[in-house]
Chains A and B, each alone.
Chain A
């Protein structure tokens, strides 16, 4: 019988996606210390100037340096997506695993709330909340965290339900251990890996969601801009300097794809 021999070498998908994400992360960090130009400064009178020496991606609709704004936007986009996803996981994992272990009314109540959340279109929720509270980075992060915690809850609950009938959980409960200890001591080591995978995937959704909000003008407010916002404000210049709108769009696509590839690669890796 022939089967593929066991691979210990990481797959090329894994290397590619990880490298790309590391690069984007480095760009975000560099933007904190130094940028080619001031992202808010008008470097030229000419809006949508095509790329030239020193202005590698041309200028935007107000004559600002697109490259500098893209790098600055990288930091804003990543910060918002990571914070929102982290919060979504904190909420979703804790509640989901607790619901799985405790069961009963708590589980039923939380699960129904989650059903409601999942049934609402995310963008509409965003519209309504922004209309009520106004837009700021933290409002957007809050919306994304709550909206995505519902999906995380489902996954965490399913993982916990598989484990809670294991004899070692039953024995820990019969010993009188509290829910928190069972959660962190007994269950977490088993679910950390699938949850980490979900984190990466969820982060790519969060980037798309928040970019969409910015694109329709409800997200990050000028003069700050995340990638979605940049794509929107430069839409008018597609004929003169298309890069101003397309470069942030490509950045969104690349990071989302890289995150998805990373998840796939890690998943394959786990199966070997």
Chain B
């Protein structure tokens, strides 16, 4: 291998209050090498990635060791020196491209901005270089696309602009912080493929931060596993994935395979003797804007059917914009459909929650993705659960207290959590409280809308097990909405696949995911990252073949006539 581009030596970073965020971390990234940092949230991955470029978030301080980027001690270097390094020696690719671009400045101008600021390229030269990079990243009409604004391109394209920005000055080191985590699976494959090629062709070194081991396995030459601010294991990708030395690494790999399509094979088949229908949804049409001729101006659901039985988990899968969340809101009564019915044990429900009875509202409960916004941060858990018990069951005092302790036990939390505020809980714990609150109503139907999407793999796995247990112990009918097929594979009895507001395939989970009939389902299945080497290349090839079959056309954007260019 080549010379070292980045050397981190016994680095320590702590909060001003003295809590250690990074503790004695040492690593090296050489030319042409991709080092992946993997670990749960809060393990210090991002702090380390930013420190590599000489940046520390406010509230943190450097307590020991050094970071050497191409011969410069970046944590001690003054600002002018860092400015000369940034962009040319080290570049940063952020997770959320949508938040990283200024929506009011044309993309081309933003991509060349740092090169012009650094006077490293002349204007014409910089723009020529940008066009070259756009072409390289397979952006459509590379000579003209730079004049678009960020909102005029798709999420996958925007992430590619982010990569283009990083490549503009041909840096020695690219720091990629979860560059594909915010993308749909099918889009992720393409962005990963391009990123991998860009790193290889330019002989760039990269520090690649991710919580997803399967993604990392496709792109990294070496993997460093982080936990609580320390590196627990470093090794070649094959070694870490196939023969991990540390217990924690094994746990991560187990969680990763637990939540994968492979888990379909060794899943005990549940005896399904056509359970009694708990909730049925028939030909729901819903959307936004004025309804004309039975169709809203913007229709997000075109006649969707769904049925869920007692003690059964039905998953609704689809990518962003497929109408999953609208469906959840229609069922919960938060969004009135233009037509179609939702029936609870055969009894039709009113479109809006206000027109439903207390009993009907109680029997259908919703748990949402962001536990942070689902729990009022100013209320103790006691009040959050207590209110529901009092509202639906009139429980107070000791009876309510006993029930609350029961509920917490049901979601595996200790009774003293009643005194806590949501901000004092971890992401997984918040999601448990979120579920406990839904259970407090004593529902028949539970809608889980992306409840594991914001969680780390290991924690998500635990929540999945909890949901399964609730189904078995309480006989709940569960509608599990997710974009993540790996999660769905490990939990669902039946699956409904949504695309652009239409059901493209529905059936038993094992059947649909192991032998998908619809080309779109096949594309989804092929896009789920797998731990094995070479999966990325296979997935990209499958995608090419299926795209032709699907003639993927994105929904029309007003005044946009180049639909084909909107493809991710």
The 8 Å CB contact of B334, one of A6, A174, A185, is A174
Cα distance A82–B361 in the bound complex, in angstroms: 44
Cα distance A177–B384 in the bound complex, in angstroms: 13
Cα distance A121–B101 in the bound complex, in angstroms: 43
Is B402 interfacial (CB-CB < 8 Å)?
no
Is A170 interfacial (CB-CB < 8 Å)?
yes
Which chain A residues lie closer than 8 Å to B373 at the CB level? 166-168
Given contacts A1-B61, A3-B58, A185-B387, contact A174 B332 (CB under 8 A): yes
B331 to chain A, nearest CB (A): 11
Is A190 interfacial (CB-CB < 8 Å)?
yes
Which chain A residues lie closer than 8 Å to B333 at the CB level? 174
A190 to chain B, nearest CB (A): 6
Complex contact A1–B56 (CB within 8 A): yes
Complex contact A173–B374 (CB within 8 A): no
Which chain A residues lie closer than 8 Å to B334 at the CB level? 170, 173-174
Contact with B along A242-264 (1 / 0, CB 8 A): 00000000000000000000000
The 8 Å CB contact of B361, one of A3, A166, A175, A190, is A175
Residues of A160-183 contacting chain B, CB below 8 A? 166-168, 170-171, 173-177
B389 to chain A, nearest CB (A): 11
Is A186 interfacial (CB-CB < 8 Å)?
yes
Complex contact B375–A175 (CB within 8 A): no
Which chain A residues lie closer than 8 Å to B59 at the CB level? 3
Complex contact A173–B16 (CB within 8 A): no
Complex contact B368–A174 (CB within 8 A): no
Given contacts A167-B370, A167-B373, A186-B376, contact A175 B58 (CB under 8 A): no
Complex contact A174–B361 (CB within 8 A): yes
Complex contact A176–B374 (CB within 8 A): no
Complex contact A5–B16 (CB within 8 A): yes
The 8 Å CB contact of A173, one of B353, B358, B388, is B353
The 8 Å CB contact of A176, one of B16, B56, B379, B391, is B391
Complex contact A171–B378 (CB within 8 A): no
Which chain A residues lie closer than 8 Å to B361 at the CB level? 174-176
Report the interface size class on chain B: 20 to 34
Is B455 interfacial (CB-CB < 8 Å)?
no
Q: Is the interface of B mostly helix, strand, loop or mixed?
A: mixed
Residues of A185-203 contacting chain B, CB below 8 A? 185-186, 189-190
Which chain A residues lie closer than 8 Å to B392 at the CB level? 175
A155 to chain B, nearest CB (A): 19
B312 to chain A, nearest CB (A): 23
Is B463 interfacial (CB-CB < 8 Å)?
no
Complex contact A171–B387 (CB within 8 A): no
Residues of A52-77 contacting chain B, CB below 8 A? none
Is B366 interfacial (CB-CB < 8 Å)?
yes
Cα distance A108–B387 in the bound complex, in angstroms: 31
Which chain B residues lie closer than 8 Å to A189 at the CB level? 376, 378-379
Complex contact B368–A175 (CB within 8 A): no
Complex contact B358–A171 (CB within 8 A): no
Is B25 interfacial (CB-CB < 8 Å)?
no
B439 to chain A, nearest CB (A): 13
Which chain B residues lie closer than 8 Å to A174 at the CB level? 332-334, 353, 361, 366
A15 to chain B, nearest CB (A): 25
Given contacts A5-B16, A171-B366, contact A176 B353 (CB under 8 A): yes
Nearest B residue to A192, CB-CB: B378
Is B441 interfacial (CB-CB < 8 Å)?
yes
Cα distance A190–B379 in the bound complex, in angstroms: 10
Complex contact B378–A177 (CB within 8 A): no
Cα distance A185–B388 in the bound complex, in angstroms: 13
Which chain B residues lie closer than 8 Å to A3 at the CB level? 58-59
Residues of B333-366 contacting chain A, CB below 8 A? 333-334, 353-354, 358, 361, 366
Complex contact A171–B368 (CB within 8 A): yes
Cα distance A171–B438 in the bound complex, in angstroms: 10
Which chain B residues lie closer than 8 Å to A171 at the CB level? 366, 368, 374, 437
Cα distance A5–B353 in the bound complex, in angstroms: 50
Which chain A residues lie closer than 8 Å to B441 at the CB level? 175
A197 to chain B, nearest CB (A): 17
Contact with A along B41-62 (1 / 0, CB 8 A): 0000000000000001011111
Contact with B along A138-172 (1 / 0, CB 8 A): 00000000000000000000000000001110110
Nearest A residue to B362, CB-CB: A175
Cα distance A87–B115 in the bound complex, in angstroms: 58
Cα distance A8–B62 in the bound complex, in angstroms: 23
* Of B332, B354, B376, most A-chain CB atoms within 10 Å: B376
Which chain A residues lie closer than 8 Å to B370 at the CB level? 167
Cα distance A213–B10 in the bound complex, in angstroms: 70
Residues of B491-542 contacting chain A, CB below 8 A? none
Residues of B368-400 contacting chain A, CB below 8 A? 368, 370, 373-376, 378-379, 387-388, 391-392
Nearest A residue to B375, CB-CB: A168
The 8 Å CB contact of A167, one of B374, B387, B388, is B374
Residues of B250-294 contacting chain A, CB below 8 A? none
Which chain A residues lie closer than 8 Å to B354 at the CB level? 176
Which chain B residues lie closer than 8 Å to A186 at the CB level? 376
A86 to chain B, nearest CB (A): 23
B388 to chain A, nearest CB (A): 7
Given contacts A1-B61, A6-B16, A171-B366, contact A177 B391 (CB under 8 A): yes
Which chain B residues lie closer than 8 Å to A185 at the CB level? 387
Residues of B432-482 contacting chain A, CB below 8 A? 437, 441
A22 to chain B, nearest CB (A): 29
Nearest A residue to B374, CB-CB: A167
Cα distance A239–B366 in the bound complex, in angstroms: 76
Cα distance A230–B236 in the bound complex, in angstroms: 85
Cα distance A167–B371 in the bound complex, in angstroms: 9
Complex contact B56–A190 (CB within 8 A): no
Contact with B along A189-232 (1 / 0, CB 8 A): 11000000000000000000000000000000000000000000
Q: Contacts A168-B376, A177-B391, A186-B376 known; list 13 others, CB within 8 Å.
A: A5-B16, A6-B16, A167-B374, A171-B366, A171-B368, A171-B437, A173-B334, A174-B332, A174-B361, A174-B366, A176-B353, A185-B387, A190-B378
**15 A–B pairs (Cβ distance < 8 Å), ordered by A:** A1-B61, A166-B373, A166-B376, A168-B373, A170-B334, A171-B366, A171-B437, A174-B332, A174-B334, A174-B366, A175-B392, A175-B441, A176-B353, A176-B361, A189-B376
Of all A-B residue pairs in the complex, the 10 with the closest CB atoms, nearest first, are A189-B378, A167-B374, A167-B373, A168-B376, A174-B353, A167-B368, A166-B373, A1-B56, A176-B361, A174-B334
- The residues of A with any CB-CB pair to B shorter than 8 Å are 1, 3, 5-6, 166-168, 170-171, 173-177, 185-186, 189-190
